[in-house]
Amino acid sequence: MPMGQDVSQSAFTREDRARYRHKVRRCLDVFALMLNDFKFDVDRPTTGLEIELNLTDPGFQPAMRNAEVLADLADPAFQTELGQFNLELNVAPRLIAGAGFAEYEDIVRAALRHADDRAHKSEASLALIGILPTLTQAHTVLDNLSHNPRYRLLNEQIVGARGEDIVLDISGVEHLRADTDSIAPEAACTSVQFHLQVAPDDFACHWNAAQAIAGVQVALGANSPFLFGRQLWAETRIALFEQATDTRSDELKAQGVRPRVWFGERWITSIFDLFEENVRYFPPLLPICDDEDPVEVLRAGGAPRLPELRLHNGTIYRWNRPVYDVVNGRPHLRVENRVLPAGPTVLDVLANAAFYFGLVRYLAEADRPIWTQLPFSAAEENFHTAARDGIEARVWWPQRGESAVPELIREVLLPMAYEGLDRFGVDPFHRDRLLQIIEDRCRVRRNGAVWQVETVRYLEKAHGLDRPAALREMLRRYSTYLHANEPVHSWPIGQA
């Protein structure tokens, strides 16, 4: 569900579900009419940014203090997330033309400094990382969900739909198997989300382009190699999120029922395809009806909010999610890119953003679309291969076949990203500064996941630390370098 949306009901009847299903289909019909006839806000292709954060205590353990920190912050840009050790920063939308990326950097760094200062009053600090490496299974329990009732309700609906405990089973460098009776382990996943506003006629090509490059993005930006003390995937967050919110029993999986955390199964021709799939494939988790009659709003010349359709969309966790929203009375559409972990630094996040926005723009406008050359199944396989192997992954790409990610980026994709940013009107200085970080990260083959693993190995071998102590010390060093805001590929391994 949209994590900023409050809910009040605690139980649902069969009548609630029937009424909600009817309202969702009514919203879908109205949405189809709007796509044909309504004027959407397409004047400015704005971008948006959301960053999920962790709170740690002085011993670099998870700090269950987000309510205290948020109360002290009193800043609507910061919100709760699933776990009491999570926060989310929502950055106001803006253009990336000119010095837009520099504005993002200034705003995000100032917001994080302010939040970190307030967190210190609660004996906590911010950590910008995909999965907090000191997190244990004892931290991810129902009692540690944030206090907002929507999280308990979502947990009840997911666990109730599954009908049995959730099993985490991830095989990577090491193996993890754990049972849980709640969705609390999903709170370990902290991500960064990029939003790109697009016109209705352009949505499909931008979503398809984002799907095509999702694997490369994850390989490049992986930053989640440890979970519950074990080294698993380079971007373990992908496997964890897919498993921790899975409403399907083993029998339903065997029948081919689609998961709610979903890469998808086909290229699309319209945003309508995705919302129609939502309604056709997924039963409602939170059947909460609004008073709005979208047909009447449309007849009156207004822009309906389509609350049921949007709420339903928010409980289906596509890695590239379609977004419909109404701002200042005007509807607009966005592609929400959700594949990347948070961190390591603000500068790394913005380099990832520049690469994504530039590359998607180029591919969406290409004369020969990438999705006519890349099988959808190959894009999905690339995604999971990249999550497992990180920057050392080999992915399949048209005209190249199987290709090492660093070489593919440097030889093929970076030139496209440069041109795409030029089409956005990004100032060449800021374009070059951010994309050079991508170039250097590929050249030295070190992203956040590589730095974390190499540092833990060094601490275990050179200093004789056991795994929990090595993870704590690694996180201490990580936090120091995070605040210096130097890109992760430049971080030292052996120095204190």
How many Cα atoms are found within 13 Å in the side-chain-facing hemisphere of 38?
24
CATH for 37: 3.30.590.20
Mind spelling out the 3-state secondary structure of 153-171? HHHHHHHHHHCCCEEEEEE
Question: Containing domain of residue 415, as a range?
Answer: 14-490
**Domain assignment of residue 3, yes or no:** no
The per-residue pLDDT for 164 is 87
Looking at the structure of the chain, the number of domains it has is 1
Q: Judge if pTM exceeds 0.85.
A: yes
The per-residue pLDDT for 40 is 87
**Domain assignment of residue 304, yes or no:** yes
**Domain assignment of residue 163, yes or no:** yes
Tokens 């890469």 identify what position? 263
> Could you give the CA distance from residue 278 to residue 24 in angstroms, rounded to a whole number?
10
Q: How far is CA 384 from the centre of its chain?
A: 15
| Local structure of 243: helix, strand or coil | helix
The per-residue pLDDT for 60 is 97
The amino acid sitting at 460 is: E
**Domain assignment of residue 496, yes or no:** no
**Domain assignment of residue 1, yes or no:** no
Q: Which residues contact 234 (CB under 8 A, 6 or more apart)?
A: 219, 222, 224, 225, 386, 387, 388, 389, 390, 391, 392, 393, 447, 449, 450
The per-residue pLDDT for 496 is 62
**Domain assignment of residue 96, yes or no:** yes
| Local structure of 197: helix, strand or coil | strand
DSSP for 216-242? HHHHHH--B-EETTEE--TBHHHHHHH
Q: What is the pLDDT along the chain (496 residues), one digit of tens a residue?
A: 343 344 555 578 888 889 999 999 999 999 999 999 888 887 778 999 999 999 999 999 999 999 999 999 999 999 999 999 999 999 999 999 999 999 999 999 999 999 999 999 999 999 999 999 999 999 999 999 998 888 888 898 888 888 888 899 999 999 999 999 999 999 999 999 999 999 999 999 999 999 999 999 999 999 999 999 999 999 999 999 999 998 888 888 899 999 999 999 999 999 999 999 999 999 998 999 999 999 999 999 999 999 999 999 999 999 999 999 998 889 999 999 999 999 999 999 999 999 999 999 999 999 999 999 999 999 999 999 999 999 999 999 999 999 999 999 999 999 999 999 999 999 999 999 999 999 999 999 999 999 999 999 999 999 999 999 999 999 999 999 999 999 999 999 987 6
The per-residue pLDDT for 5 is 46
**Domain assignment of residue 2, yes or no:** no
Beta bridge partners of 397: 401
**Domain assignment of residue 495, yes or no:** no
